[in-house]
């Protein structure tokens, strides 16, 4: 499938990855409808900061992924749906798990049900590496067992299975993309890399984080959005789960040290109890195998290994240290 000939709907278009994906699609000349979360301020989220060319090029639909009627209306006239709308903050899922079921599981049901009824040509559903839980083997392939170690990850497992069930039951053309930890400009401070950068940029000498020993496979947002397009265009990905990961593992402590080094600052890294997950909920190790993505789609990370990670961090640091951007973050408050 060539997306250039298709009308593409992006749900969650107002969010971190979604806004970057919309911008990339417009940059590539695609016809895009952006599904943003309705609010009385008429805010399009991060798309409000996109260039004038992007804003005038997109068809914006304001709605709520939990509303089946609105979801169906948004999908009318579209050929491809890239479904990113979700609640993603892990600590908040401990507080309000019911909202995660409504948004992530039922929201996904609304998308695939409408896709079935409307004859949508391709649905790419967004998963997360959190569904794997702590790695039982590395690098993690798509065959790794699923482990719901937080209400968030449990809701995403449910959403993934809902999407795949429609492929099995009704031949709905669904593919599941499973990005590992994406980072980059505009990410919220609930994520570790913005938490580190914003504290350092605000002048803190002691950087407060959660657990320092877990490892992650970080992916620069540009690689992640290229992965969405690659999975959407690959017929071989239908009915499949596809990891999008850098195949590079680094600990949180080493990530913090690397960021401080690249920002030219000498800081103390401390573990704060408030930021720790419950013991059984912490995902201790994530390291992606991207072999299937390479095989099925031809995708490969451009920001790979330590060098690529450093380049991605430099771009991210440059964005966050712009005073206009930094002013949007409450660096002294723990954001769950």
Q: Tokens standing for 285?
A: 């190790």
**Domain total in the chain:** 2
CB atoms < 10 A from the CB of 266, how many?
7
- Do both 160 and 210 map to the same domain? no
7 and 101, same domain (yes or no): yes
* 200-214 b/e (C-beta count within 10 Å ≥ 16 → b): bbeebeebbbbbbeb
Are 88 and 230 part of one and the same domain?
yes
CATH number at residue 197: 3.90.25.10
- In this prediction, residue 244 carries a pLDDT of 98
> What average pLDDT does range 103-129 have in this prediction?
98
DSSP code string of 1-42 = --GGGSEEEEETTTSHHHHHHHHHHHHTT-EEEEEEE--TT-
- Tell me the angle at which helices 221-233 and 16-27 cross, rounded to the nearest 10 degrees: 60
Task: Provide the token pair at 294.
Answer: 């390479």
Percentage of residues of the chain with pLDDT beyond 70 = 100
Residue 332: per-residue pLDDT: 87
Distance CA 292, CA 278 (A): 33
What is the pLDDT at residue 103?
A: 98
Residue 63 falls inside a structural domain:
yes
**Count of H helices and E strands in the chain?**
13, 13
120 and 140 within one domain:
yes
- Classify residue 242: in a domain, yes or no: yes
How far is it, in rounded angstroms, from Cα 123 to Cα 81?
Answer: 5
Print the domain residue range for 266: 192-214+249-285+304-326
Give the three-state DSSP class for 134. Answer: coil
The reply to whether 149 and 205 lie within a common domain is no
Q: Residue 336's pLDDT band (boundaries 50, 70, 90)?
A: confident
Binned at pLDDT 50, 70 and 90, residue 328 comes out as very high
What pLDDT, on a 0 to 100 scale, did the predictor assign at position 335? 85
Max Cα separation, the chain?
57
Pair of tokens at residue 248: 């590079």
What is the rounded average pLDDT of the residues 92-109? Answer: 98
How far is it, in rounded angstroms, from Cα 195 to Cα 216?
Answer: 15
3-state class of 213 per DSSP? coil
Q: Assess whether 128 and 271 both reside in one domain.
A: no
Answer for the pair 49, 94: CB distance below 8 angstroms, yes or no. no
Q: Are residues 61 and 123 in the same domain?
A: yes
**DSSP element (H, E) containing 124:** strand 122-126
Over range 292-316, report the average pLDDT.
98
Contact yes or no for 8/80 (Cβ under 8 A): yes
The answer to whether residue 16 sits within a structural domain is yes
> Which CATH number characterizes residue 102's domain?
3.40.50.720
Place of tokens 């690098």: 139
In a domain, 150, yes or no: yes
* C-alpha triplet 142, 145, 146: angle, nearest 5°: 95
Residues 20 and 164 in one domain: yes
pLDDT-derived band at 314 (thresholds 50, 70, 90) equals very high
Same domain, 225 and 150: yes
Rounded mean pLDDT, 23-30: 98
pLDDT of residue 284: 98
Q: What is the pLDDT averaged over residues 177-206?
A: 97
Q: Which class for 116: exposed (0-12), middle (13-18), buried (19 or more C-beta within 10 A)?
A: middle
Tokens of 335: 């954001």
Q: Which of 193, 213, 180, 215 is nearest to 289 (CA)?
A: 180
Per-residue pLDDT tens digits for 53-88: 999 999 999 999 999 999 999 999 999 999 999 999
Query: What confidence tens digit (pLDDT) does each residue in 223-243 have?
Result: 999 999 999 999 999 999 999
Residue 333 lies in a domain: no
Q: Is 336 contained in some domain?
A: no
d(Cα 179, Cα 176) in Å, to the nearest integer?
10
Is 332 part of a structural domain of the chain?
no
The pLDDT assigned to 9 comes to 99
How much is the mean pLDDT over the chain? 97
Contact 212, 271 (CB under 8 A): yes
For residues 124 and 206, state if they share a domain.
no
Report yes or no on 331 lying in a domain: no
Q: Is the peptide bond before 139 cis (omega within 30 degrees of 0)?
A: yes
Q: Residues 137-181: pLDDT tens digits?
A: 999 999 999 999 999 999 999 999 999 999 999 999 999 999 999
Instruction: Give the integer Cα–Cα distance in Å for 153 and 93.
Output: 9
Whole-structure pTM value = 0.98
Same domain? For 134 and 269 the reply is no
175 and 258 part of one domain = no
Predicted pLDDT of residue 46: 98
């Amino acid at each position: 499938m060539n997306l250039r000939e298709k009308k593409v709907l992006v749900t969650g278009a107002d969010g971190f990855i979604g806004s970057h994906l919309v911008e990339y699609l417009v940059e590539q000349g695609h016809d895009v409808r952006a599904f943003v979360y309705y609010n009385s301020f008429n805010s399009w989220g991060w798309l409000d900061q996109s260039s004038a060319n992007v804003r005038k090029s997109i068809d914006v639909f304001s709605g709520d992924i939990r509303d089946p009627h609105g979801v169906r209306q948004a999908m009318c006239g579209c050929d491809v749906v890239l479904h990113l709308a979700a609640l993603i903050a892990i600590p908040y899922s401990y507080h309000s798990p019911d909202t995660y079921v409504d948004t992530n599981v039922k929201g996904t049901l609304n998308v695939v049900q409408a896709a079935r009824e409307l004859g949508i040509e391709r649905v790419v559903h967004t998963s997360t590496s959190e569904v794997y839980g702590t790695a039982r083997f590395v690098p993690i392939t798509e065959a790794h067992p699923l482990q719901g170690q937080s209400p968030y990850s449990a809701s995403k497992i449910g959403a993934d299975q809902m999407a795949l069930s429609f492929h099995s039951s009704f031949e709905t053309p669904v593919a599941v993309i499973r990005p590992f930890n994406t980072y980059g400009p505009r990410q919220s401070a609930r994520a570790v890399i913005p938490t580190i950068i914003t504290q350092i940029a605000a002048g803190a000498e002691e950087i407060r984080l959660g657990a320092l020993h877990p490892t992650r496979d970080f992916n620069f947002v540009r690689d992640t959005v290229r992965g969405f397009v690659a999975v959407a265009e690959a017929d071989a990905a239908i009915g499949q789960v596809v990891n999008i990961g850098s195949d590079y593992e680094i600990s949180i402590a080493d990530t913090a040290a690397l960021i401080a080094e690249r920002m030219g600052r000498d800081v103390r890294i401390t573990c704060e109890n408030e930021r720790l997950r419950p013991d059984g909920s912490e995902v201790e190790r994530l390291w992606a195998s991207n072999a299937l993505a390479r095989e099925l789609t031809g995708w490969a990370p451009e920001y790979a290994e330590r060098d690529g990670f450093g380049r991605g961090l430099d771009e991210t640091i440059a964005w966050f240290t712009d005073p206009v951007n930094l002013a949007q973050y409450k660096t002294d408050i723990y954001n769950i």
